[in-house]
């Protein structure tokens, strides 16, 4: 039977010395204070040994792990502002409460490939490369209810609003809403609808790699997570999906951690079109890998080790190209 320090103890001098509690084989899940030291009384305590991820500490008042000053909580980890911006992906940034899409000045459009704002003249060139002539007093736009997405310097598409959600959002049938953010060391599992611990029963911070992979990319055999699919499903032309088209992309994801080191973790992906079983376009494959790598960054910053050296999942993402962009009045849409 294993014994670890608990939060209960007796007073010795000015310190509360913590007692011993049998934990059996249940071990230490994420977000637990193993050694709590109090001075004077129980309102003046600190945790000297916890199972919190890197960048966070155990808050004895709130009884949970919290991110250290200067870090923000995303996908079970605590990131710096720069790390959070990178996690949010091209065309977005972290702004206080979560990932937000970069808003360009009036008359400009966001280039999803670079994350920069394009002047009207540049957007007109994108239209020209697609065979669309934009006249005086017009701009490139979409039918009502659809969103224009400039995929790169030569392509643009009209996609449904659910394809434009940020990485930390889900679609509730009417709008993009922020997904529930769990405490550091815990991750939201869309299958159960609950926060689940990403660490195992070991006393050191040890990540259950399969649990993290399934929650981050999607449970095997089901749809990909919004965080994963939303990174590339807004670029239908990149996957060869033309106006009015819809495609299901099947993706195998493998995360490997050589030597069980979180810092050494790598991700590889393989995407194929469900319709014919063949691989996605080279550009589409690059997009899938890019997004998978951005999500992996939320694992790397946690530090520690993994329970296993590899984890896998296979998911599906739907890509919709609702309509072809067309000239619309500069003051409105079609």
CA dihedral (94, 99, 101, 103) positive or negative: negative
- Structural tokens at position 19: 């007692």
Residue-level pLDDT, tens digit, the chain, 334 residues: 333 333 333 333 333 434 333 333 334 455 677 777 887 776 678 887 777 888 998 888 888 889 999 999 999 899 999 999 999 998 899 998 899 999 999 889 999 988 999 999 999 999 999 999 999 999 999 999 999 999 999 999 999 999 999 999 999 999 999 988 888 988 888 778 888 888 776 667 889 999 999 999 999 999 999 999 999 999 999 999 999 999 999 999 999 999 999 999 999 999 999 999 999 999 999 999 999 999 999 999 998 899 999 999 999 999 999 999 999 998 754 4
3-state secondary structure of 8: strand
Q: How far apart are CA 80 and CA 37, in angstroms?
A: 29
The DSSP annotation for 68-118 comes to PTT-EEETTEEE-HHHHHHHH-TTEEE-SSSEEEPPPPTT-EEBTTT-PEE
Contact 146, 160 (CB under 8 A): yes
65-69 contacts, C-beta under 8 A, 24 or more apart: 65/30, 65/31, 65/183, 65/184, 65/185, 66/183, 66/184, 67/184
Q: Please tell me whether residue 290 adopts helix, strand or coil conformation.
A: helix
> pTM of this prediction?
0.84
**Measured between alpha carbons, how far is 116 from 111 in angstroms, rounded to an integer?**
6
Integer angstrom CA distances of residue 107 from 118, 123, 334? 9, 10, 16
């Amino acid at each position: 039977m294993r014994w670890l320090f608990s939060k209960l103890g007796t007073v010795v001098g000015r310190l509360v010395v913590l007692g011993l509690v049998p934990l059996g084989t249940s071990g230490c899940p994420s977000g637990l204070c193993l050694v709590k030291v109090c001075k004077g009384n129980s309102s003046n305590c600190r945790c000297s040994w916890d199972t919190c991820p890197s960048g966070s500490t155990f808050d004895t008042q709130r009884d949970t792990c919290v991110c250290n000053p200067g870090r923000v909580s995303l996908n079970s980890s605590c990131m710096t502002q720069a790390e959070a911006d990178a996690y949010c992906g091209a065309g977005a940034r972290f702004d206080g409460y979560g990932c937000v899409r970069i808003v360009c000045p009036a008359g400009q459009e966001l280039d999803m490939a670079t994350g920069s704002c394009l002047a009207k003249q540049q957007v007109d060139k994108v239209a020209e490369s697609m065979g669309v002539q934009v006249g005086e007093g017009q701009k490139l736009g979409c039918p009502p209810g659809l969103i224009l997405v400039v995929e790169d310097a030569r392509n643009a598409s009209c996609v449904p609003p659910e394809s434009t959600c940020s990485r930390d959002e889900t679609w509730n049938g009417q709008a993009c809403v922020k997904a529930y953010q769990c405490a550091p060391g815990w991750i939201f599992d869309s299958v159960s609808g609950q926060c689940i611990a990403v660490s195992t029963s070991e006393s050191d911070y040890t990540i259950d790699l399969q649990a993290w992979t399934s929650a981050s990319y999607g449970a095997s055999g089901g749809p990909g997570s919004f965080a994963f699919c939303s990174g590339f499903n807004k670029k239908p032309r990149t996957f060869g999906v033309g106006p009015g088209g819809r495609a299901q992309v099947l993706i195998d994801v493998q995360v490997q951690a050589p030597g069980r080191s979180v810092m050494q973790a790598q991700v590889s992906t393989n995407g194929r079109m469900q319709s014919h079983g063949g691989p996605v376009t080279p550009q589409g494959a690059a997009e899938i890998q890019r997004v998978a790598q951005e999500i992996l960054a939320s694992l790397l910053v946690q530090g520690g080790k993994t329970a296993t050296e590899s984890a896998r999942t296979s998911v599906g993402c739907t890509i919709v190209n609702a309509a072809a962009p067309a000239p619309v009045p500069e003051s409105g849409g079609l």
